[in-house]
Amino acid sequence: MKKYKVHFSIWNSVGSSQPEIGRLQGYLKGLTAILAGSTWYATTPTNALFVGIGGFVFDFILSCIYLEEIC
């Protein structure tokens, strides 16, 4: 199993993301779409907008992470 050291920097969001982070972001975007859709269906569109904004913020935070593999 691979071990990683996590680095966080706002400047990491400017460059391309690593494959591990990109895969996690894809899962997060799918989950956010499902949650926003079900929130829109169950409550009001305003609440769905808040869920979508929260997913966007969490996606941005993930894009700021850089994983350094430890040997």
pLDDT digits (tens, 9 = 90+) for 12-67: 888 888 888 999 999 999 999 999 999 999 999 999 999 999 999 999 999 999 98
Q: Are strands 65-70 and 3-8 parallel, antiparallel or unpaired?
A: antiparallel
Rounded to an integer, the average pLDDT of 2-21 is 87
User: Do 65 and 6 touch, CB atoms closer than 8 A?
Assistant: yes
Long-range contacts of the stretch 50-55 (C-beta < 8 A, 24+): 55/28, 55/29, 55/31
Structure confidence at residue 71 (pLDDT) = 80
Domain ranges of the chain: 3-70
